[in-house]
Amino acid sequence: VTESPEGFEESKLKADPENPDGWVRLRRQHPVFTRHRFLQGHPVRDGIKEVAWLRPDGQEMTQNEWDMPFTRCVGVYLAGAAIQRVDGRGRPVRDDNFLVLFNAHHEAIPFILPEFHSGCGWLSVLDTASDAKPFERRAFVARSQYSFQGRSVAVLTESEGA
């Protein structure tokens, strides 16, 4: 593991040796990561927000919290059911709901996984803190604590009955 002058471990950018194109595949397989317009953050369908920015306690950030200079960890909820786009045949584009966590702090920060839909939990699909198997899938119950390592990114997908 080598560290850049900014302190980010270069090994965290490397893909899983068993799945070298995992990052690219994840993005290409999920239209929620390739929006064609800016996200607005307001309810677009059945009260579902297309995006929500979250604090480590799993609650939505307030406007005042956006202005705080010491924020080190945030989560982004992306609603796949709220994509406002159609495919080549005119059908609505839908995807899974995702939670992307960012920890810029050098220490671990516990993150409470939110519960947006009753009975749903979370399934990890990427954790850059795992050098050996960053794409290993693990199930988590909503409202449980995710041990989020320093200087890393995690991607989870909402899952029924996880």
CB 58, CB 109: distance < 8 Å: no
The confidence score (pLDDT) of residue 33 equals 87
Q: Find the Cα–Cα–Cα–Cα dihedral 10, 15, 17, 21, rounded to 10°.
A: -150
The confidence score (pLDDT) of residue 2 equals 37
CA-CA distance, 73 to 158, in Å (whole number)? 20
pLDDT in tens, 25-43: 888 888 888 877 777 777 7
CB neighbour burial string for 115-141, b if at least 16 within 10 angstroms, e if fewer = bbeeebbbebbbbbbbeeebbeeeebe
CA-CA distance, 34 to 68, in Å (whole number)? 29
pLDDT at 10 over 90: no
Q: Give the pLDDT band (50/70/90) at residue 45.
A: low
CB 158, CB 99: distance < 8 Å: yes
Q: Which of 77, 139, 74 is nearest to 111 (CA)?
A: 74
pLDDT in tens, 62-103: 989 988 888 899 999 999 888 878 889 999 888 999 999 999
157 strand-pairing partners: 98, 123
Alpha-helical (H) ranges within the chain are: 22-29, 63-66
